[in-house]
Amino acid sequence: MAKRPLNRRDFLRTAAVAGGATAFPAVLRLRPSWAAGNSVPVGSLLDKTGGINIYGLPAIAATEYAVAELNAKGGLLGKQLELIQYDTQSDIANFPKFAKKLILEDQVVVIHGGITSASRESFRPVIDEYKQLYFYNIIYEGGVCDKYVFVTGETPTQQMGPLAKYALKKYGTKAYTVAADYNFGHISWKWWDIFWRNGGGLEPVAGGKRGQHVGKVEFIPLDVTDFNATINRIQEAKPDVLMSFLVGGAHINFYRQFAAAGLKNKIPIISTTFGFGNEHIVLDAKEVEGLVACYPYFDEVDNPQNRAFKAAMKKKMNNPNYYIGDAGAESYNGWNFWAKAVQKAGSFDREPVTKALETGIEWDSPMGRVKMDPASHHVIFTMHLAAVNNKHGWNVIESFPNIPPTETMQLCDLIKNPNQHTQYQPK
Amino acid sequence: MSLDTAVIMALEILNSITILVLLALGLALIFGMMRIVNLAQGEFFTAGAFTVLTAVRYAHLPLWIGMLLAPCVVAGIGIAIEWLIIRRLYGRPLDVMLATWGVSLLLIGLITVIFGAVTQGIPFALGNFAVGRYSYPEYRIVMTTVAAGLMLSVYLLFRYTGFGRRARATIANPEMASAAGINTPRMFMLTFGLGAGLAGAAGAIMAPIVGVVPTMGVLYIARAFITVVVGGPVVLLGTLSSASALGFIEALISRFPLFRIETAGHCAPPPCEISIGGSAFFGQIALLIFAILLLRLLPQGISGFWRQRE
Amino acid sequence: MRRISSPEALSALLVLLPLLAVPWAFKPYTANVLAVYMIYGLLAMSLGLIWGYAGIMSFGQTAFFGIGAYAYGAIGLNLIDRTHQTHAALLGGLAAAALLAAVVGYFMFYGRISDVYASIITMALTLVLFAFAVSTGGDEWVIGVARFGGFNGMFGQGESSQNIANFQIPPVTLWLPGMAAPFEFKINRESTAGYFLVLGASVVIYLLVRFLLRSRLGRVTVAIRENEARVASLGYDTRFYKLALFTIAGAIAGLAGMLFAAWGRFVNPDRFGLGFAASTVVYVLLGGRTNLLGGFVGAAIIGHLTSYLAEVVPFTTIPGDAGPWVTFLMEASRRIVREAPLLVQGAVLVGVVLVLEDGITPPLFRFLTRHRRWGWWLLLPAVLLYFGHRVACLQADLCVF
């Protein structure tokens, strides 16, 4: 490679790039300590770009709306909320980095965020090291038990009870399971194994049918797009119902290929994950109509708070067909749980807010009635069973109030043992 | 094993091989023949799928027109990239790798900007047929037919047409070809475009089965390269033999566990065991390991080895 | 030991003095983030070593990085409660990375695989390790109390396998004979020892590699890069030299991995991911692969840029009555900014390859060489003044502006 003689043009060119890049910190504002001013910084770590943004974008939209709504009502404790968001770009390495930034530089009083369990676990050590208040607002595999962390996402047991009972009643006792091959899939399977064999509970359900598993549970890596062999194995096992814990963009193709093999009307599907990524909008009705899922929130749930919430979000997004989804609703709820605790505690500091949350805050959200369980730091929901309809939406079948996260509550009591910073899983 | 299960397994193997052939064919031309490490090949694939999507969803054209359009559009993109970037980097293989990688990121970014990051679907109305107690989608048979057709077309093109002769001459010995009056820069450009077009066709044909998303190419590029590298320099023979060997292994290991290891620990239901084989994950691993072994034994790839022996 | 030349001394001072001052000149976050840039820089340097000096582009440096991190984590989690230091973990991580590099290197170089195929094999290695690491979420994947954890990353298990995230990977902890208590290298509001650990390691490794390159091993390897056949004909066993350099580069990558695990107290399969391997290559490309410091420069610039783009969140609502063209343009620019990291990385790659030839650092260094006097009399005092003022301002409230 011949070396060109350096001239001033070369240097200026490279210096401009290097100089410009290193001058950036000067451009960013230096944040003063917030106690003096009349705004208080709050932080959000969500993926605005990259593959995870199908969950990130609705969560961001709901976050912005929740904070704006609080500010419009006068803020909290007389101060306006200053929302500082960082786009973690679907890259797990960004979570600890920006969490440290929010804590050390921006000095936020609370962090909401994290989407995949991997992203949450990647910066929970940072949360613990700096004793930062943190809300995790997404469905996940359950079991987080951390004094500084509050979870407003649903856990498997909240979904599996209603789903198991419904499937046993309507479809039969033989189930085949496919799951995403990572922690969420593995832990979900463990809980599902217990729930299905017990007929819908952590303990055997009295007077109910018991389920059984046919074939062997299949764990499918997240990047597999071709499910040919899996579909053939399902046919071989002849189940009454298929339980799906599949996650992500690549796994959407399973439903399409399943329908292409002519199985949609032969084997019904239930799932704890379908719909969270708006799969029902992407897929056609003739591919997934009739699939049953169980979430604390569907846009189709009807109550006064949800009607107002939907109208406001449609206006904000300037799209009359905007679909909020569970991720959005949970983020909204997370911020409002925090806000109510701050008002009850009369302070933004972590310990009084934690105490306030541990008195069991309960309110009417767009999801319906929700209550924060004091000991486990998780939320007791009204769960809704719904089936995919032929209009890219859901038909709500039945609603179950007061479904607690039993698996986490069994293992985690942060009032009796406050000094825990861990995650539990089934035996 | 019953007859229908055996037939289904044969179909699974055929499916694995088909997908590898589709992924590798265009790259076999570009990398196998022209020695250009094109890391943007996955995005040619993606562009083909998105062309079909645009045609069907936004222009409301019938599916088959979209499928015919895709290779043409992507060939055009390939030609543009060759002319703008690759042309300046002949003889610098690592720089080509990096530049095409940059192109790949740019293309993903561009496609996301235009279409958004959501996975979209292409509806199609083909049914399924029964194999004993199983039902198998007809579309996969269509895919195999198309893959065979593409390979046949490439063979005919390179063997019996003037363009094919000139292309082979240019790639075998560019200086001689140029001295003989062939416009070598144009030949490179057109051959690259052809490789891109083949990838576009592959993306188009696979689009209805897999979701159409800007990052779909990323999932396939690794396997495409491995298939081509193991195949060696001869385009058709290498691709076919490599895809057959690797596809066979992948389908087989996805089906049958090799052995199970019991380990200590808590599992539900007990005992805890790690099963080596019998899942999609191990199918992928087996493919990679087998490819590495093949390369170690035959550093020139399968067809390179055959060629040496002659 | 030859005399240090004036431009080298100048650039050393220009780089080291600010870095030494950072913990006092800026808030702890800056030290935190610079530490991780230096760690990435070490990784990039290992790639620059094998690529720029031996001519082999290895996609696998991140594989050794990950192995070093996981090994350090596994050993550290198991021993920390008993020994209260991480000496064994550090040695183990280094050994694991070096061993893997030696095995892979032997396989590649003694198998006479050409350079391009070697790159692809290292890519396959990374993919295999990633697929493996992701699948380790189950209870079976435990070494002592260290759970691999699959996607969720490595944590220490509690008394039963039900408690899966009881404690985290320990920071580098030293307890030498004569010390009253073990000393932890952390970076937080109270201490920036962890930052100095990373800085010290980077300086030491850099000097060692410089020394190595001037030794026979280094000179022969560079000769191999230029013309392997000729070197072989002179009687050198080229395979051995390539293997030796590859192993050393792997060990450096492993060291960077260990520092990373200790810095974040966390490691997960993304360290084996193609995206991380890609970023490393971009750092080296941007910074320059024939200069060992290129990787550090590239890592810092890209890291900065990523942070900057992450903070730009233009979610302005498009007014409902805007015309179709305005709406389209606003939506398009919004989407372009959203995808900006990808577009930027892509543009950097294409641009550097086509235009800059070997990244930013060589031209900068050449400029410093040509204009030494400006460097000593203008640049250095300016840097000293700026940092001196910041330190005074932050620590003693003596701010001029």
Predicted confidence band of residue B208 (pLDDT cuts 50, 70, 90): confident
Residue C144 tokens read as 């002592």
Cα–Cα distance, C105 to A257 (Å, whole number): 42
Q: When comparing pLDDT for C94 and C341, which is higher?
A: C94
**Average pLDDT of chain B to the nearest whole number:** 84
The pLDDT assigned to B125 comes to 64
Contact criterion met (CB below 8 Å) for A188 and A141: yes
* pLDDT surpasses 60 at C2: no
Domain that holds residue C226: 7-370
What is the chain C residue with the closest CA to B301?
C117
Smallest Cα distance from C312 to chain A, Å: 8
Residue C310 tokens read as 């992450």
The pLDDT assigned to A241 comes to 95
Class of domain B3-309: mainly alpha
Predicted confidence band of residue C143 (pLDDT cuts 50, 70, 90): confident
* pLDDT surpasses 80 at B64: yes
Contact criterion met (CB below 8 Å) for A104 and C189: yes
Q: Which chains touch B (3 or more CB pairs under 8 A)?
A: A, C
pLDDT in tens, A218-233: 888 777 888 888 898 8
Lowest mean pLDDT among A422-426, C48-52, C94-98, C324-328: C324-328
Please state the domain extents for chain B: 3-309
Mean pLDDT of C64-89: 91
**Average pLDDT of chain A to the nearest whole number:** 86
The pLDDT assigned to A313 comes to 93
* pLDDT surpasses 90 at B202: yes
Mean pLDDT of B38-64: 90
C382 occurs within a structural domain: no
Mean pLDDT of B228-247: 87
Cα–Cα distance, C309 to C336 (Å, whole number): 12
User: Would you say the C-alpha torsion B260, B264, B269, B271 has a positive or negative sign?
Assistant: positive
Lowest mean pLDDT among A41-45, C216-220, C350-354: C350-354
Give the percent of chain B with pLDDT over 70. 95
* pLDDT surpasses 70 at C356: yes
Nearest to A296 by CA among A405, A198, A204: A405
Q: Is C120 helix (H, G, I), strand (E, B) or coil?
A: helix
Give the percent of chain C with pLDDT over 90. 20
The pLDDT assigned to A5 comes to 46
Chain C residues in contact with A189 (beta carbon < 8 A): none
DSSP letter for B265, please: S
| B248 touches A at CB < 8 Å | no
Residue burial A278-295, b: 16+ Cβ < 10 Å; e: rest: bbbebbbeebbbebbbbb
Contact criterion met (CB below 8 Å) for A297 and A309: no
C173-174/C183-184 β-pairing: antiparallel
- Give the helix ranges, DSSP H, for A84-182: 94-100, 117-130, 156-170
Residue of C302, C350, C352, C355 to mutate for B, most B C-beta atoms under 10 A: C350
| A424 touches C at CB < 8 Å | yes
Cα–Cα distance, B215 to B81 (Å, whole number): 19
Cα–Cα distance, A26 to A41 (Å, whole number): 20
Predicted confidence band of residue A145 (pLDDT cuts 50, 70, 90): very high
* pLDDT surpasses 90 at B302: no
pLDDT in tens, C247-265: 999 999 999 999 999 988 8
The pLDDT assigned to B185 comes to 87
The pLDDT assigned to C397 comes to 79
Lowest mean pLDDT among A113-122, A267-276, C356-365: C356-365
Q: Which chains touch C (3 or more CB pairs under 8 A)?
A: A, B
| Beta carbons of A101 and C29 less than 8 Å apart | yes
The pLDDT assigned to C401 comes to 64
Predicted confidence band of residue B267 (pLDDT cuts 50, 70, 90): low
Cα–Cα distance, B28 to A181 (Å, whole number): 32
The pLDDT assigned to A127 comes to 92
* pLDDT surpasses 50 at B261: yes
Lowest mean pLDDT among A33-42, B243-252, C269-278, C386-395: A33-42
pLDDT in tens, A328-362: 999 999 999 999 999 999 999 999 999 999 999 99
Mean pLDDT of B8-25: 90
Q: How far is CA C329 from the centre of its chain?
A: 39
Q: When comparing pLDDT for A193 and A182, which is higher?
A: A193
Mean pLDDT of A392-401: 91
Residue C370 tokens read as 């040509």
Q: Which of A344-348, B279-283, C380-384 has the highest mean pLDDT?
A: A344-348
Mean pLDDT of C291-313: 78
Mean pLDDT of A153-171: 92
Distances from the Cα of B87 to the Cαs of A404, B171, B292, in angstroms? 64, 14, 31
* pLDDT surpasses 60 at A249: yes
Q: Is A43 helix (H, G, I), strand (E, B) or coil?
A: strand
C399 occurs within a structural domain: no
The pLDDT assigned to A34 comes to 62
Structure-token match 């994290």, residue found:
A114
Q: When comparing pLDDT for C351 and B300, which is higher?
A: C351
Smallest Cα distance from B128 to chain A, Å: 6
Predicted confidence band of residue C122 (pLDDT cuts 50, 70, 90): confident
pLDDT in tens, A257-305: 898 888 888 999 999 999 887 888 878 888 889 999 999 999 999 899 9
* pLDDT surpasses 90 at B132: no
Chain A residues in contact with C342 (beta carbon < 8 A): 49
Angle at the Cα of C59 from the Cα atoms of C54 and C60, rounded to 5 degrees: 90
Using CB atoms, pick whichever of A10, A86, A97 lies closest to residue C311: A86
Q: When comparing pLDDT for C333 and B5, which is higher?
A: B5
| Beta carbons of C311 and A22 less than 8 Å apart | no
Mean pLDDT of C206-227: 87
Q: Is A160 helix (H, G, I), strand (E, B) or coil?
A: helix
* pLDDT surpasses 70 at A35: no
Distances from the Cα of A41 to the Cαs of A35, A75, A275, B87, C296, in angstroms? 10, 12, 33, 52, 33
The pLDDT assigned to B268 comes to 53
pLDDT in tens, B159-182: 899 888 888 888 888 888 888 888
C354 occurs within a structural domain: yes
Structure-token match 């397994």, residue found:
B9
Residue of C33, C43, C145, C152 to mutate for A, most A C-beta atoms under 10 A: C152
C343 occurs within a structural domain: yes
B257-262/C183-184 β-pairing: unpaired
Lowest mean pLDDT among B53-67, B140-154, C87-101, C356-370: C356-370
Mean pLDDT of C69-87: 90
* pLDDT surpasses 90 at B74: yes
Q: When comparing pLDDT for B296 and A107, which is higher?
A: A107
pLDDT in tens, C144-164: 888 888 888 888 887 777 788
C387 occurs within a structural domain: no
Smallest Cα distance from C80 to chain A, Å: 17
| A427 touches C at CB < 8 Å | yes
DSSP letter for C36, please: H
In the stretch 256-315 of chain C, residues with CB closer than 8 A to chain B read: 274, 278, 281, 285
Enter the ipTM: 0.79
Nearest to C352 by CA among A370, A49, A13, A81: A13
DSSP letter for C380, please: H
Smallest Cα distance from A215 to chain B, Å: 12
State the first-to-last Cα distance of chain B, in angstroms, to the nearest integer: 41
Contact criterion met (CB below 8 Å) for C260 and C65: yes
Nearest to C276 by CA among C133, C381, C135: C133
Q: Which residues, including other chains, have CB under 8 Å from residue A207's CB and lie 6 or more apart? A: none
C50 occurs within a structural domain: yes
- Indicate the number of domains in chain C: 1
Smallest Cα distance from A353 to chain B, Å: 38
| C55 touches A at CB < 8 Å | no
The pLDDT assigned to C315 comes to 46
pLDDT in tens, B210-232: 878 888 887 788 788 888 888 88
**Full DSSP string of A165-228:** HHHHHHT-SEEEEEEESSHHHHHHHHHHHHHHHHTSSSSPPTT----EE-S--EEE-TT----H
The pLDDT assigned to A309 comes to 94
pLDDT in tens, C82-92: 888 888 999 99
* pLDDT surpasses 60 at C205: yes
| Beta carbons of B284 and A224 less than 8 Å apart | yes
- pTM flag (> 0.90): no
| Beta carbons of C162 and A49 less than 8 Å apart | no
* pLDDT surpasses 50 at A17: no
Contact criterion met (CB below 8 Å) for A153 and A381: no
**Full DSSP string of C62-96:** HHHHHHHHHHHHHHHHHHHHHHSS-HHHHHHHHHH
